[in-house]
A and B are shown apart, each in its own frame.
Chain A
């Protein structure tokens, strides 16, 4: 009987475990999921918390309950992985052997890596909405905020859901207009990138949307210090952006247990992984999924979902001694909430940048265009997440490989 250990009971770990449980009968494989706590947060929902549209408790469910019967769930910290012995050492001193290990430990925020970020003003006038506590704290601060400078700053990539900070700007613009105080507030988006987004067509479109909303864009700003007491961001090349209220997305690292495991993680604690098979380059029986994997694609739930199908196929092939399927194409798909009950959808992969058109085919949701339909799609996604994505079901009409049928090539953009 195969023993498959999955580190992490978040999006990647849960959907992988559920897919594997369907692929193997209980006498063919024992599947064990380990996580340090039992709180599974629907992370895309955190964006809405600061605007009072939802609450952290409505986004959180027990991890174990998202797993199919026949999957063992253990709440335990992971000390480290000994890849040479194919063994996971748990914080309580016990150990788990594995035939296949799936690393699904996600990413963690590293605010302490930026000078001053967790110093004076942290959780008072400097917040992040990337944690339930930060998002809830920001809700209170934003409610009171009626004039001055609101600055949204991405410290460094990679971050989870790279469009979320832009969505925050769009929603803040909408929220402040609804409250009638937008004219008294300067809203600024400060990014280390050279444009609003990396890929050219989407960068132009999103940059235009910031300008339309009178949101100032500061580019190539690499935050060296957050001075909460003085109310300013300072870049490494000594530029300054003043603020009265700052929303900062800190740098991200891989999970500390990965960094503690000899040879498993890269410099940031992410697992070096083949971008098409999802097998790690560290050891053949180690696979990585979602944020934990070091791949040149967004750290996002949709990526994790699309990876799941290829990952589970490859775990089966590996255990059967067959060659792996190198078919993951980097497919990612995000609803970008744009305020005023509208959203925009983007769909892309390693090779193809986000393009206008429709998804998943000629008829479908509009791409790169604000629409009420996409906003409804974004809201509906929370239900799909708990009831279809985590159980590891395929969403009808939406596949792992990126569709091209409904997309317009850049000449039309």
Chain B
């Protein structure tokens, strides 16, 4: 675990760049994390998913998988891939400052 300064805020991150303490997150951090992943700007639709991820994490202690996200977030899976290319659940979790969704293995 290392400390990274993101948008002027020192945050603890793991080796994959995920925040290890979601309480250190704020909206400026999200914007900068997104920019580092090549998502610029974060649109309202992105924010909808990011906020949904944080709410799910607070309620359940883990972020949802893509399939669950597609079923519950109101954003279809196809669009999730357009918003967060490659891995929506992983990328949205990173930008939302929550841990990588736990693989069920």
Contacts and interface: CB of A to CB of B under 8 A. Distances in A.
A158 B104 contact: yes
B103 A198 contact: yes
A198 B65 CA distance: 14
Contact of B105 (A156, A197, A222, A237): A197
Contact of B65 (A157, A197, A237, A297): A157
B103 A156 contact: no
Interface of A: 113, 156-158, 162, 193-194, 197-199, 220, 222, 224, 236-237, 251, 266-268, 272, 296-299
Contact of A156 (B62, B67, B78): B67
B104 A157 contact: yes
Interface string B69-80: 001100001101
A268 B87 contact: no
A390 to B, nearest CB: 24
Interface string B37-68: 00000000000000000000000101011111
A54 to B, nearest CB: 25
B86 A220 contact: yes
B65 A298 contact: no
Contacts of B103: 157, 193, 198
B85 A222 contact: no
B66 A296 contact: no
A302 to B, nearest CB: 13
A113 B66 CA distance: 13
Given A194-B87, A268-B67, A299-B104, 4 more contacts: A113-B67, A157-B105, A222-B87, A268-B68
B86 A267 contact: no
11 contacts: A157-B65, A162-B104, A194-B87, A197-B105, A198-B105, A199-B105, A220-B87, A224-B77, A224-B81, A251-B67, A298-B104
A297 B78 contact: no
Q: What is the interface of chain A mostly: helix, strand, loop, or mixed?
A: loop
A237 B81 contact: yes
B102 interface: yes
A222 B78 contact: no
Query: What are the 6 closest A-B residue pairs judged by CB atoms, nearest first?
Result: A158-B104, A198-B103, A236-B81, A198-B105, A296-B102, A162-B105
Nearest to B84: A237
Given A156-B66, A157-B65, A251-B67, A224 B105 contact: no
A268 B85 CA distance: 24
Nearest to A266: B68
B78 A236 contact: yes
Contacts of A156: 65-67
Most buried by B among A193, A222, A298: A222
A198 B105 CA distance: 7
A162 to B, nearest CB: 5
Nearest to B86: A220
A296 B104 contact: yes
Contacts of A268: 67-68
B52 to A, nearest CB: 13
B62 to A, nearest CB: 7
Most chain-B Cβ atoms within 10 A of its Cβ — which of A296, A298, A299? Answer: A296
A158 B103 CA distance: 8
